[in-house]
Structure 1
Amino acid sequence: MEQVSETFTVDLRRLTVLRELQRRGSLARTAEALHLTPSAVSQQIAALSREIGTPLTERDGRGVRLTGQARVLLTHADAIAAQLERARSDLAAYGEGGRGSVTIGCFSSGILGLLPGVLRGLAARLPDVRVEVVEAEPPDLFTALDAGQVDVAVAVDFAATPPHTDRRYSRIDVLRDVLDIVVPTNHRLTGGKQVALRELATDTWVAGDARSCVGAITRAVCATSGFTPDIRHAVNDWSALAALVEAGAGVALIPRLVRPLYEHRRLAVLTTEGEPPSRNIFAAVRTGAEGDPVLRAVRDQLRSSAAESATPRTETP
């Protein structure tokens, strides 16, 4: 395949597979994300390569890597996907967006602390629109967004999240969610004074798995404060994490968005010295879909509900 075909056509489904391969970096991970076999992924890429008449992958040890031609094609794939979304948005706007359905993909604590208000607001604003919620985190959340299984992705910025410069998505910031330091009530630092996070460098910590949002945020915040936390207990559920802190198993960072899960427990919430640690919550749609009236209403409601959910720090018990 030395010359690009002058009459090539492109199967958009195969472009989706190529985009996922770019994100995941291997045939096996791409296959897992798309619920295909590695052989099926290879066949889709090979078929796309034949369609356009140029190689898209090359061997890299036991795996494959994208060719320069594939990366050129992917820049056009992003533009094609965005234009299709604009067409869909224009059609939806023509009908004034008063009917239809929308699926919101969101992380678990966002579902707990943010989406109830969003759903109530949307029920009042768009009573004829069916709203569905799916729990998911990056990178799977954005695979679902690319595939059209999710229309709005609500996520936390961390390593597994697409960067701000990713042209496939149009995103808005929704909420700066403060992370409270929670410790057992008999902890040496309780008593009302402000504490620096670094003062907990020698403590045992409770945090999530490093690959999860729960664990990644804690590790990143502690690293910024100059230490690596001694994580003895790895749990990805905020309620379970709070229970372990209450039992004296360690200290932790817990976002205010999940306050209902721990405000009834006997925990001490320490006042942070200086600017408190926080995580950034954002909402993304496929580029080109910004004009869809339903998706615009969802994003507006997310910001409105986020403003209402922002609450002051719990006092130390």
Structure 2
Amino acid sequence: MEQVSGTFSIDLRRLAVLRELHRRGTLARTAEALHLTPSAVSQQIAALAREAGVPLTERDGRGVRLTGQARVLLAHADLIAAQLERTRADLASYGEGGRGSVTVGAFSSGILGLLPGALRALGERLPRVRVDVVESEPPDLFTALDAGQVDVAVAVDFHAAPPHTDTRYTRTDLLTDVLDIAVPAGHPLAARARDDRGGIALRELAHDPWIVGAAHSCCGAITRAVCAAAGFTPDIRHAVNDWGALSALVEAGQGVALIPRLVQPLYAHRRIALLGTAGGPPPSRNVFVAVRAGSEADPVLNAVRDQLRLTAATSVTLGGSVGGSV
């Protein structure tokens, strides 16, 4: 392949495809995330390789893997994307950020327990700014963030989320959301929620049927990991991702579950008992907000991040006591 010329230039859209291939690992998954065909992804990567003058992929069995040159290019791609975001933020700052539109992507319980209060406050703070909300979780949420389809991502740390060291994003931790055990009101252990003996060990529920979200979802993944750490694999009878449906099934005696405190007040009418866990730190998940690196200076995006942080810090859902029936 030709050496890089003195008039070196590359198509930023093709660079974005390479970044997505690095994230997803295969042409098929990259194509699915970008709504392209695998052939189109391959053509974009080949065209980028011609522009760069270096090979970017090599055969790996029936798939492909990135070359060392591709990883060098990716390191610069993150810096290029961040600088473009800084440019956009500087232009937005010139107009004082008093108007515009922002799309916030968030996981379901973040939308339920965090966004309503933040959106009300933002409506008073920035009345000329339109804020749209879409429900999404990693990795799709961060694919949308990279593509500019989402401006602010509210997510939970789990295996599908980017690591703290990912330089493509500027992130701020919002809160630690504790998960409590939910059992039917008539469950033999429900009395623990009404006495002074504290929480229960998760392993005491090893023989109960469980209600758990899909494995790819943040809470589904966390519940499976927490049970594994407690020394058992949960007997999953019902797979649901909606918290209202989950709490209704618990109330109906169909199983036990973990429910985050962020959404517990919404289901206070359910006849279920909530118990803390004993024998160590309670199960929890870290909730954070992220924007594209370089865009944090945008006054509107900064206001949205700041309001999310303030709402999380003052959220009454995190201050409620555990150990009672709801």
TM-score (norm 1): 0.97
Q: Which residue of 1 aligns with 2:234?
A: 229
Distance 1:251 1:280 in 2: 23
Tell me which of 298, 302, 309 is aligned to 2:308.
Answer: 302
Q: Which residue of 2 aligns with 1:37?
A: 37
Shift of 1:314: 4.7
Distance 1:275 1:28 in 2: 40
Q: Which residue of 2 aligns with 1:311?
A: 319
Which amino acid in structure 2 is aligned with residue 292 of structure 1? D
What SS class does the counterpart of residue 290 from structure 1 fall into? helix
Distance 2:269 2:281 in 1: 26
Distance 2:20 2:177 in 1: 30
Shift of 1:315: 4.5
Distance 1:226 1:302 in 2: 36
Where does 1:79-98 land on structure 2 (aligned, <5 Å)?
Answer: 79-98=79-98
What SS class does the counterpart of residue 165 from structure 1 fall into? coil
Q: Which residue of 2 aligns with 1:173?
A: 173
Shift of 1:247: 1.1
More deviation in 67-76 or 242-251? Answer: 242-251
- Give ranges in structure 2 of 5+ residues lacking alignment: none
Spell out, residue by residue over 1:215-256, the C-alpha distance to the aligned partner (whole angstroms, 9 max, x if none). 101012222223222212111111111111111111100011
Q: Which residue of 1 aligns with 2:298?
A: 292
Distance 2:267 2:131 in 1: 29
Distance 1:261 1:303 in 2: 21
Distance 1:300 1:231 in 2: 39
Distance 2:296 2:228 in 1: 36
Distance 2:275 2:65 in 1: 48
What SS class does the counterpart of residue 59 from structure 2 fall into? strand
CA-atom RMSD in angstroms: 1.3
Shift of 1:2: 5.2
- Give ranges in structure 1 of 5+ residues lacking alignment: none
Shift of 1:78: 0.2
Shift of 1:98: 0.8
Shift of 1:316: 1.8
Distance 1:271 1:148 in 2: 40
Matched positions, count: 317
CA contact (8 A) 1:85 1:287 kept: yes
Distance 2:266 2:125 in 1: 29
Which amino acid in structure 1 is aligned with residue 311 of structure 2? S
Distance 1:147 1:21 in 2: 13
Q: Which residue of 1 aligns with 2:124?
A: 124
CA contact (8 A) 2:276 2:322 kept: no
Q: Which residue of 2 aligns with 1:10?
A: 10
More deviation in 80-89 or 230-239? Answer: 230-239
Distance 1:225 1:301 in 2: 36
Q: Which residue of 2 aligns with 1:239?
A: 244
More deviation in 103-112 or 255-264? Answer: 255-264
Distance 1:294 1:3 in 2: 43
Spell out, residue by residue over 1:30-85, the C-alpha distance to the aligned partner (whole angstroms, 9 max, x if none). 01100111111111111111111111111111111111100000000000000111
Shift of 1:186: 1.6
Shift of 1:202: 2.1
Shift of 1:203: 1.7
Distance 2:216 2:20 in 1: 19
Where does 1:19-38 land on structure 2 (aligned, <5 Å)?
Answer: 19-38=19-38
Q: Which residue of 2 aligns with 1:263?
A: 268
Distance 2:167 2:306 in 1: 21
Q: Which residue of 2 aligns with 1:48?
A: 48
Distance 1:173 1:228 in 2: 30
Q: Which residue of 1 aligns with 2:182?
A: 182
More deviation in 108-117 or 223-232? Answer: 223-232
Which amino acid in structure 2 is aligned with residue 9 of structure 1? S
Q: Which residue of 2 aligns with 1:280?
A: 286
Distance 1:297 1:267 in 2: 38
Distance 2:322 2:165 in 1: 36
CA contact (8 A) 1:181 1:252 kept: yes
Distance 2:99 2:51 in 1: 38
What SS class does the counterpart of residue 222 from structure 2 fall into? helix
Q: Which residue of 2 aligns with 1:66?
A: 66
TM-score (norm 2): 0.94
What SS class does the counterpart of residue 102 from structure 1 fall into? strand
